[in-house]
């Protein structure tokens, strides 16, 4: 039996464009992993009519409805009362829930305020879901063979309820029917990837679905099908076709791949960041356990810092400019000397919105990676605004390290 789900996210903040709906994304992924297919997301306002209309309009074939939002202690949350009365019940004060809220506050050294006492009002027609991370209980309503799970909109509270109470229970009844694999690439454009794949695998569409997902992280290719051996075969074939532009088959970040390669080879990596301003180090240190391979890094944002900390010759900065091959080359040489790191990364560029000059447009970045006797150099032109430019340059630098380390083998 295929199990279908719909996700209803209630919140004015979502419709007003203040908050990105990461809840729908997270839930969709978790549900897919246990074989439940999400067929629709709906976002509506925290008001009675919209909530009732959404509950009325749930499609016939849907087994599970996941509702988030509107259970908090503040005045703008109306969901609990509306949903309880939709299913014919009413809210009652629960001694048990009250104790729970009181203890929750006590543990954090806070006093239970009048406002938070409302969290102890519980529907008399629902099963309660314990909230370990906050004070608003979750609720389960059942009607006409459909199950409605109602949870707070605060992501980590919802995650905890899903992981501890809901997903393990649903997994018992579901059966995973599709097999899905991915291929993460960096450096090739979408149409070239599609061309290469389609030239060699004209029949891929018959058995498998294939999707291309471009972002600043590169292009991710996703394969899905009912025959897990065919999906695996296709993944291997595509990996061969795309060569070393494939950095992962499991969705790890390039930073994770680089940290793991460094661990395997027992190498220390260091960074000298100008335009990326700390984002390479930030990506590396987002990886748990990265402290084994990353010990120190330098953000050399000004020209003086490049000279003072890394010994970059002021003549190079004056004549070639801070954004030049010569500068990044001098940065990594200086960094290697100073730190003794096995791998030195240097990046300098024009993140924007100011700083462009003739021949040096916004988004121009030079990067250098020193490893063993070689310095790998790369020029990038990528202009999608300051923050994306920084991120792309950081990923490109980490990708260059990856390529240097796998060439080595």
Q: Min. distance of Cβ 81 from its own copies in angstroms? A: 16
Interface with its own copies by CB under 8 A: which range of 122-130, 241-249, 351-359, 360-368? 351-359
Least separation in angstroms between CB 130 and its own copies: 18
Alpha-carbon distances, residue 400 vs 138, 225, 391 (angstroms) = 47, 33, 14
Three-state secondary-structure class, residue 274: coil
Rule CB under 8 A: is residue 298 a binding residue for its own copies?
yes
SS3 assignment, position 92: strand
Q: What are residue 167's DSSP bridge partners?
A: none
* List of long-range contacts for 88-96, beta carbons under 8 Å, 24+ apart: 88/125, 89/123, 89/124, 89/125, 89/126, 90/123, 90/124, 90/125, 91/121, 91/122, 91/123, 91/124, 92/121, 92/122, 92/123, 92/124, 93/120, 93/121, 93/122, 94/120, 94/121, 94/122, 94/128, 95/120
Smallest gap from residue 363 Cβ to its own copies (A): 13
By CB under 8 A, which span of 106-114, 162-170, 242-250, 361-369 interacts with its own copies?
Answer: 106-114
Q: What are phi and psi of 356, to 5 degrees?
A: -75, 150
User: Which of 235, 234, 270 shows the shortest CA–CA distance to 249?
Assistant: 235
**Which of 3, 36, 271, 370 touches its own copies by CB under 8 A?**
271
* 314 near its own copies (CB under 8 A): no
Of the two residues 9 and 324, which places its CB atom closer to its own copies in the complex? 9
Identify residues 75-94 at the interface with its own copies (CB under 8 A): 75-76
- Which of 102, 207, 252, 282 is the binder for its own copies (CB under 8 A)? 282
Is 390 a binding residue for its own copies by CB under 8 A? The answer is yes
Query: Is 406 an interacting residue with respect to its own copies (CB under 8 A)?
Result: no
Distances (CA, A) of 277 to 291, 348, 351, 378: 20, 9, 10, 18
Choice from 35, 48, 52, 73 touching its own copies (CB under 8 A):
73
State which residue, 187 or 278, has the beta carbon closest to its own copies: 278
Q: Does 124 bind its own copies (CB under 8 A)?
A: no
- Strand pairing partners for 301? none
Candidates 3, 10, 38, 83: give the one binding its own copies (CB under 8 A): 38
Binding to its own copies, residues 146-165 (CB under 8 A):
154, 156
Binding range to its own copies, per CB under 8 A, among 228-236, 280-288, 326-334, 366-374: 280-288
- Nearest-approach distance from CB 167 to its own copies, in angstroms: 13
DSSP 187-234: SS-HHHHHHHHHHH-TTHHHH-EEEEEEETTEEEEEEEES-HHHHHHH
- Peptide linkage before 353 cis (omega within 30 of 0): yes
- List the one residue out of 369, 329, 364 whose CA is nearest residue 349: 364
Q: From the CB of 197, what's the least distance to its own copies, in Å?
A: 9
46 versus 329: smaller Cβ distance to its own copies:
46
- Residues numbered 181-240 forming contacts with its own copies, rule: CB under 8 A: 189-192, 194-195, 198, 205, 209-215, 220, 222
Considering only 142, 175, 228, 295, the residue that binds its own copies (CB under 8 A) is: 295
Min separation Cβ 43 and its own copies, Å: 4
DSSP-assigned states of every residue in 339-396: H--SEEEEEEE--SSS--BTTB-TTEEEEEEEETTEEEEEEEE--S-HHHHHHHHHHH
| Residue from the set 1, 17, 203, 409 that interacts with its own copies by CB under 8 A | 17
Q: Is 13 in the site for its own copies (CB under 8 A)?
A: yes
Binds its own copies by CB under 8 A, chosen from 74, 144, 172, 372: 74
x/- string (CB under 8 A) for its own copies, residues 41-60? xxxxx----x------x---
Whole-angstrom distance, CA of residue 178 vs CA of residue 114:
49
If the CB atoms of residues 83 and 283 are measured against its own copies, the closer one turns out to be: 283
Size of the site for its own copies (CB under 8 A): 98
Provide the 10 A C-beta neighbour count for residue 375: 18
276 touches 301 (CB < 8 A): no
């Amino acid at each position: 039996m295929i199990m279908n789900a719909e996700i209803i996210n209630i919140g004015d903040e979502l419709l007003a464009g203040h908050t990105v709906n990461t809840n729908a994304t997270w839930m969709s992924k978790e549900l897919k992993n246990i074989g439940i297919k999400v067929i629709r997301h709906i976002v509506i306002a925290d008001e009675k009519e919209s909530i009732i209309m959404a509950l009325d309009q749930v499609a016939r074939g849907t087994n599970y409805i996941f509702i988030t939002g509107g259970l908090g202690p503040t005045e703008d949350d109306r969901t609990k009362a509306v949903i309880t009365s939709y299913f014919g019940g009413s809210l009652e004060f629960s001694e048990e829930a009250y104790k729970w809220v009181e203890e929750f506050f006590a543990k954090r050294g806070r006093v239970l305020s009048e406002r938070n006492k409302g969290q102890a009002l519980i529907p008399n027609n629902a099963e309660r879901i314990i909230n370990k991370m906050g004070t608003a209980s979750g609720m389960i309503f059942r009607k006409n063979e459909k199950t409605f799970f109602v949870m707070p909109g605060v992501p980590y509270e919802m995650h905890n309820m899903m992981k501890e109470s809901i997903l393990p229970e649903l997994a018992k009844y579901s059966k995973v029917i599709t097999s899905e694999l991915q291929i993460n690439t960096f450096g090739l454009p979408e149409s070239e990837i599609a061309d290469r794949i389609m030239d060699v695998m004209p029949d891929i569409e018959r058995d498998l679905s294939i999707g291309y997902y471009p972002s600043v992280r590169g292009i991710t290719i996703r394969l899905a099908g009912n025959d897990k051996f065919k999906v695996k075969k296709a993944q291997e074939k595509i990996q061969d076709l795309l060569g070393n532009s494939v950095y992962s088959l499991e969705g790890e970040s390039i930073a994770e791949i680089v940290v793991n390669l460094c661990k395997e080879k027992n190498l220390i990596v260091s960074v000298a960041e100008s335009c990326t301003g700390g984002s390479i180090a930030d990506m590396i240190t987002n990886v748990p356990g990265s402290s084994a391979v990353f010990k120190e890094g330098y953000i050399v944002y000004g020209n003086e810092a490049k000279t003072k900390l890394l010994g970059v010759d002021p003549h190079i900065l004056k004549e070639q400019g801070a954004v030049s091959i010569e500068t990044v080359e001098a940065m990594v040489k200086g960094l290697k000397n100073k730190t003794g790191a096995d791998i030195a990364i240097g990046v300098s560029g024009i993140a924007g919105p100011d700083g462009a000059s003739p021949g040096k447009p916004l988004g121009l970045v030079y990067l250098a990676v020193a490893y063993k006797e070689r310095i790998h150099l790369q020029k990038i032109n990528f202009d999608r605004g300051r923050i994306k430019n920084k991120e792309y340059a950081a990923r490109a630098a980490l990708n260059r390290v990856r390529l240097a380390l796998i060439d080595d083998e």
